[in-house]
Amino acid sequence: MISYATVVRREKMPSVYLYIPNIIGYLRIIVNFIAFAVCYSNRTLFAILYFFSFVLDGIDGWFARKFNQASTFGAVLDMVTDRVSTACLLALLSQSYRPGLVFLMLLGLDITSHWFQMYSSFLSGKTSHKDVQHTSNWLLKLYYEYRPFMAFCCVSCEVLYIILFLFADEKSTSLLSVCRVVMKQSPLIVLVFISTLVGWALKQVTNIIQMKTAADTCVEIDPKRSK
């Protein structure tokens, strides 16, 4: 039987939908809507808004830990917002560059890798897709267990895509040509560009490893169920 104190405590608890990190998540969605609405008319504003939404992604995690407001809904909202915003940007890049298939393949890898990871975590009874304690791959462990490394990889990907979008012209552009143009810019831009390429490459390798590891987990589930 539920005690009166428990009922009162539950009534005082805010709805999960109104958790601070989840409210920040709603703000991210609104900012992304505005960003993509102006992406062709004002690329600079788009870049600012898109990056601001990405910064909010880190802030909502801090609030979740600070106020003990981590939730399953918040984790799903966060991942869906991340995947959709990145997918939209990659779709834009696929229209601005040739070969556009490169960006569509990156989009497919990003979604597939994270979907496999989420579903395999669910099948394994884990509370978070970031729980990689049982994996033997050092890179995947480093990615999820060492926040600065994850931040470097994620920021590098988004900044690289933003740079490519800002340097794309009105017509379909050769990806290699734009990379050569960027390399002729100021030393600071060149340094940022090379750094983001490194982080981007590490992120794609991690995605591939994550997809394979998660797929192995899904394959191992069926024999266990049949016993």
* pLDDT (tens digit per residue) in 18-58: 999 999 999 999 999 999 999 999 999 999 999 999 999 98
Q: What's the whole-number mean pLDDT along residues 4-11?
A: 50
- Domain-embedded: residue 176: yes
- Domain-embedded: residue 223: no
- Domain-embedded: residue 7: no
- Domain-embedded: residue 5: no
| pLDDT band for position 170 (cuts 50, 70, 90) | low
pTM of the model: 0.87
List 60, 82, 110, 131, catalytic entry: 82
- Domain-embedded: residue 226: no
Q: What's the whole-number mean pLDDT along residues 49-78?
A: 91
Q: How many domains does the chain have?
A: 1
SS (H, E, C) the chain: CCCHHHHHHHHHCCCHHHCHHHHHHHHHHHHHHHHHHCCCCCHHHHHHHHHHHHHHHHHHHHHHHHCCCCCHHHHHHHHHHHHHHHHHHHHHHHHHEECCHHHHHHHHHHHHHHHHHHHHHHHCCCCCCCCCCCCCCHHHHHHHHCHHHHHHHHHHHHHHHHHHHHHCCCCCEEHHHHHHHHCCCCHHHHHHHHHHHHHHHHHHHHHHHHHHHHHHHHHHHHHHHHC
- Whether 82 sits among the annotated catalytic residues: the reply is yes
Give the structural domain span for 89. Answer: 16-218
8 pLDDT exceeds 50? no
Domain of 130, CATH number, reads: 1.20.120.1760
